[in-house]
Structure 1
Amino acid sequence: MVKTYDSVKLYNSGVYLVDGKEIVPDTETEKLSSMVEFAPTKEDAKKGTIAYSILEAHNTSDNMDKLKIKFDAMASHDITYVGIIQTAKASGLEKFPIPYVLTNCHNTLCAVGGTINEDDHMFGLSAAKKYGGIYVPPHIGVIHQYMREMMAGCGKMILGSDSHTRYGALGTMAIGEGGGELVKQLLCDTYDVDYPDVVGIYLIGKPNPGVGPQDIALAIIGKVFKCGYVKNKVMEFVGPGVSNLSTDYRNGIDVMTTETTCLTSIWRTDEDTKSYLTAHRREDDYKELNPAKVAYYDGMVYVDLSEVKPMIALPFHPSNVYEIETLNENLEEILREIEVEGAKIIDNPNIEFKLTDKIVDGKLKVEQGIIAGCAGGTYSSIMDAASIIKGKSCGNDEFSLSVYPSSQPVMMELVKNGAISEFMAAGATIRTAFCGPCFGAGDTPANGALSIRHTTRNFPNREGSKPGNGQISSVALMDARSIAATAANGGFITPATSLDVEYNCPEIKFDSTSYDNRVYNGYKVFKENELKYGPNIKDWPKMSELTDNILMQVASLITDEVTTTDELIPSGETSSYRSNPLGLAEFTLSRRDPEYVSRAKVVNKLEKARVEGIDPTTIDVNLFEVFNKIRTIEGSNEVNPLETGLGSVVYAVKPGDGSAREQAASCQRVLGGIANIAREYATKRYRSNLMNWGMIPFLLDEMPEFEVGDYIYVPNIKNMLDGNMDKIPAYIIGKEVKAFNLHIANMTSDEKSIVKAGCLINHNRNKRK
C-alpha cells in the first residue's frame, strides 16, 4: 500500500528564504537578485539562519566549520545520571560547572530489582548536594517538561543524555547525546562537531480542529526519515504558520524531531513564545529569533498545516505513517503488509504477529490507549483530549485509557480546569509524571494486544513485551485527540476530526509551588557530603588501551536495514541495571542475538589474559593457528600475540537509531568490544558513544564476507587513525586469509585520543598525569 499525503513536500535543492516568507530555490538565483537589491552570497546567506547565530555564540573555537560548543545547562534522568557522574568522578570531577538537572522520571516506580531504583535516586540527590546540581524527585516532572518550564530560553543551548532533548520551540538549541558528551562538559571540555547543514521547516496555514502536534510531527517524520533528508542536520522551523501554533503545541511537534534523526531543532520565536515564558515567570529568557532578511537553507520541508490530517504510525517505527482515514479505507491490505514486515523484524518462528485479527465489523479495534510523557502529556494536548472524552465512556471491556500529565504543575492546572475529572468520570486512570509508557516500563498491554499511544516511539518491545518469553504486543503512535476519540468510540480507531467538539483550553496559569517545595536546587552550592551508594551501583571496569595491531572476532552479524539502540541494549526492565555496568552488559543484544554475550566473553577473557602478560595463544589453540595465518601476511611475520589487542566486533548495516543511551555502546565495551563495522551509523550520537567508549567506528561499503566466529586482523591501526582513514587494510582470518578494506569517517583529534586510550575515562586520566 503506497503511503501518500500532500501536506508535506521536500525541496530537491537548497533554498533562500527572503523576509521569512518567500522561498527561492538556489537554482533560481536570478529571481533572488530581482527581489533583493544587494543579494548576499550563498556563504553569507548561510549565516542568516537562526541556528548560525546560536552556534556562533556558543562556539569556543575560531573556526565555524569545526565547532567546539559549550552549553548553558544540561539534563539527565535516573537511567543515565549515575553512570555519567561515576565516569566524571573517575575522571577528576570536582563540581558541576553549569546547571545540571537530575530528574527521576524513568525508574520512577521503584518496582523492579528491590531497592536499586531508589538507591540510584539517593545517589543523585547526594551528587546534587556534593557537586552543586538540581534534583527533581520522582513523580514531580518528566525531564523535558521540567526543562521547558524552568530552564529553556531563547538563544540558549542545552545538552541532555536523553535522545528527546529538544527545546527548539522555546528558542533553545538542545541536543541529546550519550553520557560521554555530558562528562566532557562537566570537565569543562567541549562538544566537538562539524558545522551542520541547516534545513528549513516552512510552515503555512493552521491545523484543523482535532489535528494535534503528533499528527504534524508524524507527517514530517514519514516524509524525511527513510530518505535521510535531515539526518544529523538542524531543523529550523520558520514561516507564517509558526504563529498559528501555541508554544505548548509547538513543544509537542518539536520533541518528535528526534525521530527524524536530525541533530537538533530551533524555531523562530514570537509573542506567544514570550507569553509562555512570562507565564512561567521567565520573561527575561525571551528574545525574538528570526532568520535574516535573506537566509540560505541546505534543504526545505514545506508543511501546509491546514492539509495535515490525523495520522497513525503503525508498528514498528514512527516513520511507518498513514493518514487514519487512509488506514480505515484500506484496513485489511495495510495490516497484512504490516504483519509481513513485522514478522521479519520480530524474527521468531514461535511468535505469530497478528493485526488483522483486530478487524471487527470492518473497523480496527485496539485494546489500550496511553497519553503520556514529554510528547503527549502536555497541558494543551490533555485539555483538548478532555474536551473530546467529556461525557463519554471508555467502556468496561478490554479497552483501557491512561493519562500521564508531564509535570506536577501541569497536573495542578488540569485539576483546576476540570480535565482530570472528565477523564476519571469516563473511566480513564490518571498517573503521575513518568516516562515508562515510552520505553516499556509502564502499562504493558496484554499478549497480542495493540496499544495506541501519544508517546515518542513504537519500536519493537518499547511497550514492555518480551518476545524471548513468547510475549508480543505492539504500539501505534497517534495524537492525544484521536486517542480520546477512539476511547469515546469503544476502542475503534477514530480520527478526532470526525467528531464535532467544542474545545476548551484556557491559558495555563503556571504554579511552581510543587517545584518550590520539592525540587532541590543546589546550583553553585557545594556541600561536604559523600556520595550515597547502593549495592547495585558499581564502578566501571578497567579497559585496555588500543594497540598498534588489533585482532577482532565477529561476535554478531546483523543484516537488518536498521538496528535500534533498543535491540543493542533493551529498554524497560533492564533500566534497573543501568548503574551496574557488568550486570547490564548481560542483556546486550539479548532480543536480537541471544548468543552474543557468551561469544564476546570468550574473546574478552583472552584479552584480559593478554593484559596480564599471559600469551592468549597458550589458552586457545585455535588462536595459535590464527596467529600463524596472520604471520603469512606481508609485514606481519613478527606479530606478537602479547602486543596485539583482542576484542569482539559487531557488524550491523545501520546501527544506533533511537535512544541516546550510551549503554548501547558501553555494554559492548564492558564485554570486550573493540569496534563496530557498519555501512553507516544511524545517528551521530551512537557513533560518538562508540568512540567515547574506546571503540572504533569502522565503515564497510559492501556486504561483509566474514561470518560470526571469524577473526578480522587490522595492522597498524593507530597509525591509520593519524593518517588516511579512507582505506584501511584488513584481513579476514578464516579457512583462508582474505584481504579487504575498511574505512572511518572523520574523527576529531580528541576522538582519536579517546579511542587510543581505550575509553574516555582513560583519556581523562592520561590528561591529568
Structure 2
Amino acid sequence: MSIKKSDKGCFVVEGEKFLAEGEQISGKTPNADELKKNTIAYNILKEHNTSGSIEKLNIKFDALASHDITYVGIIQTAKASGLENFPIPYILTNCHNSLAAVGGTINEDDHAFGLSAAVKYGGIYVPPHQAVIHQYMREMWAGGGRMILGSDSHTRYGALGTMAVGEGGPELVKQLLGRTWDINYPDVIAVHLTGAPRKGVGPQDVALAIIGEVFDSGFVKNKVMEFIGPGIANLSVEYRNGIDVMTTETTCLSSIWKTDDRVRDYLKEHGREDAYAELAPGAVTYYDGLLEVDLSKVEPMIALPFHPSNVYTIKNFIENANEILKKIDSETKEQFGDPKLDTGLPSKAENGRVKVSQGVIAGCAGGSFENLSEAADILKGKSVGNDHFGLSVYPASQPIYLEAMKSGVAQNLMSAGVLLRSAFCGPCFGAGDVPANKDFSIRHTTRNFPSREGSKPGEGQIASVALMDARSIAATSANKGELIPATEIDYQVSNIAYHFSGEIYENRVKSKALTPTSDEELVFGPNIKDWPQMIPLTENLLLQ
C-alpha cells in the first residue's frame, strides 16, 4: 500500500523520524502546543496575521490573482465600495474567457476592462493565451514565505514556499479595501513523502492516489497539508507543482512544502532567485495528523467520472471495466433523474480492453514543460492514429510553448498527430475540446465533474471525463486510444533542461503594479455597466 494515514497527532524529528508514543526528548515529554509552532505553516500564518491572536487569524496577503471570469465583478464591487488603487499586487490573467465561439464581443470587452483597470489602479494584466493563471503565478510571483489569495479554486503554490488560497470574489474585494481574511487557526497535517516514483508514474498519479485516500473521510478538510520527508528531494519542482495544484481536490485549506536547492534553481531560472527562502519544520515539530506516502509504490491512476476521488489504479480498472462502467452509467442516470440518459460508457469495455475517444493534456495541472517533454518521449516516432481518437496538448504558458519548439518536444508531439494549442484553461471547464455525445475523454486537468467537459446532460447529451497523468495519456495515445498505463511501455526519458524566456512577458504583459494612473478611464462594454452615482446617507431618513 502506497499511502497510510493517521488522525492522531504526531511528533516529527528533523522532518523525517517519528517519535514513538510516550518517547521523551532529552528526558522531557514533548509539548504539543509549543511544538506545533515549529510547522512551516504556523510561521507563515503568524507572519501574515494582524489580529494579535494566533487562534483567530486576520490575514493580509502579499498578492492577489484573478482570471477573466472573476476579475470584472471583483473590481466593480471594490470600486463601488471606495477603491482608489490596488494596495497590493493584483494579477489579472485572461485564460478562461478567451476562446468562446458565442457571445459576441463580451469576452474582449472583459479584457479591455481588465487592461484599463490594471492601468488605473496599478495592477498587472496578462493578455489572453500568454499563460494560464497558476502557471504565471508560479513563474513570476510565488516565493518563499509568501501568501497569495486567488479567485480560482486551484490557487496553490506550496511547492515554491507560498501558502496560497482559492476563495470567492468577496474575499479579494476585502483585501483590495484593506480588510483581512478571517479564519480560525487550522490544523496542520504532515504529508510525509518517502521513496521515488517509478518511470511512467507522474505527479497526477501521486495526486489522485492521495485524493482517493482522503476525500471521502474529510481527513484534510479545511486543514493545511504540509509536505515533508526525504521523498521530496527525489521530485523535480514541476513534479511537486503537479501534485500541489491538485491538493484543492482533497478539500484542504492550503498547502506548503519544505523547500530546497531545486526550488532555488527553479526561481533562479525564472529570474527570481531573491524570492527563494529555505523553509523546513523545526528540529521537533507537532502535527495534528499524518499522511505517509511511499512514492515508489504509487501506480498509474485513473479518476473515473464524475469526481477526482473516484480513483482506481489503471490496471485494476481495466481488469474490472465492465462492472465499473455499468455502475457509473447506472449512478449517472440516478444522479440526473433521467433513466434514458445514456453515457455510452459500458460500450467502451470489450474483451478485457478499454477504448477511449479523446485525450487532453492541459492547464495548470497538465501543461508543464516536464509533462509535455515526457509525453513527447513516449510518442516519438509513433502515431495517435487517424480514427476518432485524438490528443490535444495545451502548454501552460507561452514560455513553455517556445521551449517546446526550441527543444524538439513540439516536433515529436505534432509529428505523432497531436494538436498543439495555446495556453488556455478551457478543457477544465467545458470551453475547449468538448467531446462528442457519449465520448469518453482522458485528461490531465484538474476536474472531471459532470458537464465540466462541455456537454449538457439536461438536454440529453453527455460525455464523460477521466483524469489521468500525461504519461499514461501519451501511452494510451500511442496505443490508438486503447487504455494502457505508461509503466507497461518501453521508452527513454530525455530529461531536457528547461530554459525560461522572460522576454515573452516583458514584451507583452502590462505591468503597472502599485503604480496607478488615477485619471485613466475604465473601459466599459455592453455587458459591463458603471455603478450609478451613490448619494451619501444623510443624518436623517424619511421612510414612506
Matches within 5 A, 1:279-290: 279-290=269-280
The CA deviation string for residues 225-247 of structure 1, in whole angstroms up to 9 with x for no partner, is 01000000000000000111011
Q: State the alpha-carbon separation in 2 of the partners of residues 213 and 466 from structure 1.
A: 30
* Structure 1 residue 370 displacement after superposition: 0.1
The CA deviation string for residues 414-470 of structure 1, in whole angstroms up to 9 with x for no partner, is 111111111110111000000000010110000000100000000000000011222
Of 15, 18, 23, the match for 1:20: 15
Pair 110,540 (structure 1): closer, same or farther in 2 beyond 3 Å: farther
Which residue in the other structure is 1:262 paired with? Answer: 252
Which residue in the other structure is 2:140 paired with? Answer: 150
Which residue in the other structure is 1:87 paired with? Answer: 77
* Structure 1 residue 369 displacement after superposition: 0.1
What is the one-letter code of the residue matched to 2:137? M
Matches within 5 A, 1:729-740: none
Of 373, 379, 389, the match for 1:399: 389
What is the one-letter code of the residue matched to 2:500? F
What is the one-letter code of the residue matched to 1:224? V
Pair 125,410 (structure 1): closer, same or farther in 2 beyond 3 Å: same
CA RMSD of aligned residues (A): 1.5
Pair 471,409 (structure 1): closer, same or farther in 2 beyond 3 Å: same
Which residue in the other structure is 1:8 paired with? Answer: 3
* Structure 1 residue 61 displacement after superposition: 1.2
Query: Secondary structure of 1:518's partner?
Result: coil
Matched-pair contact (CA < 8 Å) for 2:191–2:225: yes
* Structure 1 residue 327 displacement after superposition: 0.7
Which residue in the other structure is 1:44 paired with? Answer: 34
Matched-pair contact (CA < 8 Å) for 1:385–1:481: yes
Which residue in the other structure is 2:265 paired with? Answer: 275
Matches within 5 A, 1:141-180: 141-180=131-170
Q: State the alpha-carbon separation in 2 of the partners of residues 73 and 186 from structure 1.
A: 10
What is the one-letter code of the residue matched to 1:21? E
The answer on 1:308 being equivalent to 2:303 is no
* Structure 1 residue 506 displacement after superposition: 1.9
Looking at both structures, which has the greater relative contact order when contacts are Cα pairs under 8 Å and sequence separation is at least 6?
2
Pair 130,338 (structure 1): closer, same or farther in 2 beyond 3 Å: same
Q: State the alpha-carbon separation in 1 of the partners of residues 469 and 530 from structure 2.
A: 42
Which residue in the other structure is 2:285 paired with? Answer: 295
Matched-pair contact (CA < 8 Å) for 1:153–1:286: yes
Which residue in the other structure is 2:243 paired with? Answer: 253
Query: Secondary structure of 1:413's partner?
Result: helix
Pair 379,82 (structure 1): closer, same or farther in 2 beyond 3 Å: same
Query: Secondary structure of 1:337's partner?
Result: helix
The answer on 1:515 being equivalent to 2:510 is no
* Structure 1 residue 110 displacement after superposition: 4.5
What is the one-letter code of the residue matched to 2:2? S
Matches within 5 A, 1:552-563: none
Matches within 5 A, 1:362-373: 362-373=352-363
* Structure 1 residue 109 displacement after superposition: 1.4
Which residue in the other structure is 2:538 paired with? Answer: none
Q: State the alpha-carbon separation in 1 of the partners of residues 19 and 7 from structure 2.
A: 12
* Structure 1 residue 507 displacement after superposition: 2.1
Matched-pair contact (CA < 8 Å) for 1:110–1:118: no
The answer on 1:130 being equivalent to 2:125 is no
The CA deviation string for residues 96-116 of structure 1, in whole angstroms up to 9 with x for no partner, is 010100000000115320000
What is the one-letter code of the residue matched to 1:209? K
Q: State the alpha-carbon separation in 2 of the partners of residues 538 and 486 from structure 1.
A: 48
Query: Secondary structure of 2:19's partner?
Result: strand
Number of matched pairs = 535
TM-score by length of 1: 0.68
Query: Secondary structure of 2:520's partner?
Result: coil
What is the one-letter code of the residue matched to 1:305? L
Q: State the alpha-carbon separation in 2 of the partners of residues 80 and 38 from structure 1.
A: 52
Matched-pair contact (CA < 8 Å) for 1:315–1:342: no
Moved more, 250-259 or 101-110: 101-110
Query: Secondary structure of 1:121's partner?
Result: helix
Which residue in the other structure is 2:539 paired with? Answer: none
The answer on 1:107 being equivalent to 2:102 is no
Q: State the alpha-carbon separation in 2 of the partners of residues 18 and 38 from structure 1.
A: 14
TM-score by length of 2: 0.96
Q: State the alpha-carbon separation in 2 of the partners of residues 532 and 361 from structure 1.
A: 59
Which residue in the other structure is 1:72 paired with? Answer: 62
Moved more, 501-510 or 268-277: 501-510
What is the one-letter code of the residue matched to 1:127? A
Q: State the alpha-carbon separation in 2 of the partners of residues 212 and 540 from structure 1.
A: 48
Which residue in the other structure is 2:482 paired with? Answer: 492
Of 522, 526, 536, the match for 2:527: 536
The answer on 1:378 being equivalent to 2:357 is no
Matched-pair contact (CA < 8 Å) for 2:371–2:471: yes
Which residue in the other structure is 1:631 paired with? Answer: none
The answer on 1:501 being equivalent to 2:491 is yes
Which residue in the other structure is 1:630 paired with? Answer: none
Matched-pair contact (CA < 8 Å) for 2:93–2:132: yes
* Structure 1 residue 541 displacement after superposition: 10
Matched-pair contact (CA < 8 Å) for 1:202–1:302: yes
Query: Secondary structure of 1:412's partner?
Result: helix
Q: State the alpha-carbon separation in 2 of the partners of residues 363 and 109 from structure 1.
A: 35
What is the one-letter code of the residue matched to 1:536? N
Q: State the alpha-carbon separation in 1 of the partners of residues 457 and 325 from structure 2.
A: 20
Matched-pair contact (CA < 8 Å) for 2:58–2:182: yes
Query: Secondary structure of 2:174's partner?
Result: helix
Matched-pair contact (CA < 8 Å) for 1:159–1:182: yes
Matched-pair contact (CA < 8 Å) for 2:475–2:489: yes
What is the one-letter code of the residue matched to 1:504? S
Query: Secondary structure of 1:316's partner?
Result: coil
Matched-pair contact (CA < 8 Å) for 1:415–1:421: yes
- Unaligned regions of 5+ residues in structure 1, if any? 1-5, 543-611, 614-769
Matched-pair contact (CA < 8 Å) for 1:346–1:460: no
Query: Secondary structure of 2:465's partner?
Result: strand
Matches within 5 A, 1:527-676: 527=517, 528-538=519-529
Q: State the alpha-carbon separation in 2 of the partners of residues 452 and 239 from structure 1.
A: 31
Query: Secondary structure of 1:236's partner?
Result: strand
Pair 348,19 (structure 1): closer, same or farther in 2 beyond 3 Å: same
Query: Secondary structure of 2:507's partner?
Result: helix
What is the one-letter code of the residue matched to 1:231? K
The CA deviation string for residues 324-370 of structure 1, in whole angstroms up to 9 with x for no partner, is 01111112122222222222223223412231101233211000000
* Structure 1 residue 539 displacement after superposition: 5.9
Which residue in the other structure is 2:308 paired with? Answer: 318
Which residue in the other structure is 1:588 paired with? Answer: none
* Structure 1 residue 66 displacement after superposition: 0.3
The answer on 1:241 being equivalent to 2:231 is yes
Matched-pair contact (CA < 8 Å) for 2:524–2:530: no
The answer on 1:221 being equivalent to 2:216 is no
What is the one-letter code of the residue matched to 1:19? E
Which residue in the other structure is 1:671 paired with? Answer: none
The CA deviation string for residues 495-551 of structure 1, in whole angstroms up to 9 with x for no partner, is 000011100122211111110100000012222211100101146899xxxxxxxxx
Q: State the alpha-carbon separation in 1 of the partners of residues 128 and 183 from structure 2.
A: 34
Matched-pair contact (CA < 8 Å) for 1:110–1:116: no
Query: Secondary structure of 1:68's partner?
Result: strand
Pair 200,36 (structure 1): closer, same or farther in 2 beyond 3 Å: farther
Identity %: 63
Query: Secondary structure of 1:17's partner?
Result: strand
